[in-house]
A and B are shown apart, each in its own frame.
Chain A
């Protein structure tokens, strides 16, 4: 117990010893992890948007004019046998016209001038989740184009695919920038610990001469690095949260992205904890690298 108290006291003494470098190390780690966190926030939110959009993926099969009820039922029957198909709903020509009028009341004049209803009947098909890959939906939709009674097949994959490409790039950028900034953070924490080691070199030698093991001498410095890293990590989460709330309030106030701000979410608690843990890991690694030079000699 006394030993533990001693080690903790020494750790705090180390932190107090080089206040300026401590602040710089914590600040750098916080900045590093906040930059990484911004990418993470973008990545997670876009991924969320894509997965919610994927849930709504529908394939609309427009039917040729003049199909009898029996032919439509036959087509539905045939589609229901396909393993990819979840639900099928039929929208008749009249229903389509009614929905058009409801959705676009200002365009009533366009339709009034026409003698016949120009809108086709359609079957709206949802694809089961396991078949919602970009290729899977495309292949299925293409297959339906040749069916008797089918005029056109449409699905809203194009821009979701583009979004997935953006997410892929974002993933790459996160890893590259994260690695670069992590190296910077480790270097700065290592330098901070090295300064502490230099300032306390006499004490380290005395400890060694009175029979302290390497582990006993090293623990306060490892703890110091871990504390600096974890503090930086926690600070980065606070910065991200502040920035996120500010951004969200500005987005809501502008009114340009009505409803979109409601779908944006902050990092889940688990991810925030991981961010602090990454800070702790970076700090410990920085300390460890500095300590490699200590204790190589016996004295």
Chain B
């Protein structure tokens, strides 16, 4: 599903990732662990084509995304979902409209959009707040809307960058249960965190990065 071969990335003179080799199978749930600056976000940005590697190759579903043309990037991203620590919801649009945007972008009909957005909001238990603007929602609710937006187009891979970074312990637990449910439906999940509670709760494969290097992998074939 996802394969990284000798991937390196530098920002000016700083090494963000160095010679990373990593294989993730379809349907896996992988936690990327490590302190701030370890390279977790860089790795996710590479997988999401927000960055290109300086060295090495990245295959997603046997497609070399390091060589993807910029005009193909939007279509590639439509096969993935991305969740941010700071939610990144459009402030002037209500929950329903925020979740519907990936589908509007793809040109789906109004009927299909309504059906799929309702399903996604129901999956994160936010159907009753579909008319609410982000500013009127709690942090946990905003993250749920963000998750609904990421899964609404049925992605094959879900990438999450510190999705519980702004949430308290109870909310973290709730959100992680959502991720487990999404993974149980067959979606590959790669989640960056430095929260030990998350590792404890999910109990899945843990890949640890430190100073741009892969230092441990609890269960993969790296």
Q: Is the interface of A mostly helix, strand, loop or mixed?
A: helix
A211 near B50: Cβ-Cβ < 8 Å: no
Q: How far is the CA of A1 from the CA of B109 in the complex (A)?
A: 7
Assuming A209-B50, A298-B52, is B88 touching A2 (CB within 8 A)?
A: no
Q: Which of B3-11, B25-33, B73-81 contacts A (4 or more CB under 8 A)?
A: B73-81
In the complex formed, the residue of A with least CB distance to B101 is A210
Using an 8 Å CB-CB cutoff, how does the interface string of B96-110 with A read, 1 for contact, 0 for none?
A: 000001101111111
User: Mask for A2-45, Cβ within 8 A of B = 1, else 0?
Assistant: 11001000000100000000000000000000000000000000
Select B88's contact among A13, A206, A214, beta carbons within 8 Å: A206
Residues on B facing A (Cβ under 8 Å): 45, 48-52, 70-71, 73-78, 82, 88, 90, 92, 101-102, 104-110, 113, 149, 153
Measured CB to CB, the closest approach of chain A to B162, in angstroms, equals: 16
A212 to B104, CA, bound (A): 9
Q: B50's contact among A3, A203, A210, A299, by CB below 8 Å, is which?
A: A299
Q: Tell me which residues across on chain B come within 8 A of A216, comparing CB atoms.
A: 74, 105
CB proximity of B98 to chain A, nearest CB, Å: 9
Q: A205-B88, A210-B78, A210-B105 are in contact. List 19 more A-B contacts (CB 8 A).
A: A2-B113, A3-B104, A13-B92, A202-B88, A203-B90, A206-B88, A206-B90, A206-B101, A207-B101, A209-B48, A209-B82, A209-B88, A210-B82, A211-B75, A211-B76, A211-B102, A212-B74, A212-B101, A298-B51
Give A residues with C-beta under 8 Å from B.
1-3, 6, 13, 202-203, 205-214, 216, 298-299
Q: Which B residues are CB-close (under 8 A) to A1?
A: 109-110
* Complex Cα–Cα for A210 and B75 (A): 9
CA distance A205 to B88 in the complex (A): 9
Partner of A210 from B49, B92, B102, B113 at Cβ < 8 Å: B102
Name 10 A/B residue pairs within 8 A (Cβ), A-sorted: A2-B108, A2-B113, A3-B107, A210-B78, A210-B101, A211-B153, A213-B71, A213-B74, A298-B51, A299-B45
Please tell me if the beta carbons of A298 and B105 are within 8 angstroms of each other in the complex. Answer: no
Question: Which residues of chain A have C-beta atoms less than 8 A from B105's C-beta?
Answer: 3, 207, 210-213, 216
On whether the beta carbons of A2 and B78 are closer than 8 Å, the reply is no
In contact, B70 and A2 (Cβ under 8 angstroms): no
Question: Judging by beta carbons under 8 Å apart, are A2 and B106 in contact?
Answer: no
**In the bound complex, CA of A216 to CA of B78 (Å):** 14
Given A3-B107, A6-B104, CB of A210 within 8 Å of CB of B90:
no
Chain B residue numbers with a CB within 8 Å of A13 are: 92
What is the bound-complex CA distance between A206 and B92, given in angstroms? Answer: 13
Given the interface contacts A211-B74, A212-B74, does A298 sit within 8 Å of B88 by beta carbon? no
Q: B residues within 8 A CB of A206?
A: 88, 90, 101
Best-buried of B48, B105, B108 by chain A (most CB within 10 Å): B105
